[in-house]
Amino acid sequence: MKRIFALALCLCMLLCACTGTTTPNEPKQPDNPVPAGQPEQPKAPVLRTERIILTDEAMQAARLNVEYDAVTVDGDGFDALNRALDAWSRSLADDLSTAAKNVLPDLEELNGVVSEDTSYALENSVAIVRADAQYVCLAITSYSSLGGVHPFTATRSVCFDTQTGSQLQLRDIAKDYDAVYQATQDALAHYEDREAFFEDYAGTVYDMFYTNEDDTLTWLLGEDTLTIVFSVYMIAPYAYGPLEVVLPFTDGTLSDGASGSVVTTLD
């Protein structure tokens, strides 16, 4: 059982990186048409998510449900972005399939001692945080229920340049990356229940920004805020759930050019 518990936690952190209903993300229409003679503004892509179920005889026998959201561009005009999203979605599917194969032996052993009604799940769900002419930002919630005391969830993120399809890191967007890091630490230091954080939480945050940023730093770029997400167990016990630091765009901090003071809040 301890092995299942540890494996579930590892899988949740690794997978956060999709029959099919589709969900469109319709871009906002301008209130006023572009006056004659003025250049037309770049268009925003319309994204769709499709729920995909991965299954085979071994998964069915182990009562393991594996699902993920694939993301595509609806329509023409964003070929580079569509190729990038397709490659990214396929990598999610490959990782999820590999994870499922890795847990099957443990689930088969566990099924020998639990009720036949017990089932398990590995799922990745995608939420569209931003999709405009400049950026596409997605939040990926990984959920695993593998026979432990409770299921695990973790959130990861991915951001693309809408025009080129290039995958972006926070350093590519932040004018002052160190200021974003410091604002995050300051917000956590003023959290009313910070005594409940793990003793070395500040070091964990530093490592997220400077040591393992490609793997552990989860950031969501909205229209006027940047949200740093801490999944369960990253800086606080499970009971506290995921934590977020929300940073409004500020001069000298993000390249979007929005103005305002550095105000940080923790939801």
Give pLDDT tens digits for 197-233. 999 999 999 999 999 877 889 999 998 899 999 999 9
Q: Give residue 117's pLDDT band: very low, low, confident or very high (50, 70, 90).
A: confident
Per the CB < 8 A criterion, the answer to whether 106 and 3 are in contact is: yes
Cα 257 to Cα 174, 222, 226, 249: the distances in Å are 11, 13, 13, 8
- For residues 142-151, give the mean pLDDT: 89
pTM over cut 0.75: yes
Find tokens 């695990």 and name the residue: 152
Q: Which residues sit opposite 3 in a β-bridge?
A: none
Nearest to 148 by CA among 128, 167, 122, 168: 122
- Go through 205-223 and write b for each residue having 16 or more CB atoms within 10 A of its CB, e for each that does not: beebbeeebeebbbbbbee
Report H helices in the chain: 2-15, 57-61, 79-110, 170-173, 177-189, 201-210, 213-216
DSSP class of 53: E
Tokens of residue 258, six digits: 């929005």
| Average of per-residue pLDDT values in the chain | 82
Q: Give residue 17's pLDDT band: very low, low, confident or very high (50, 70, 90).
A: very low
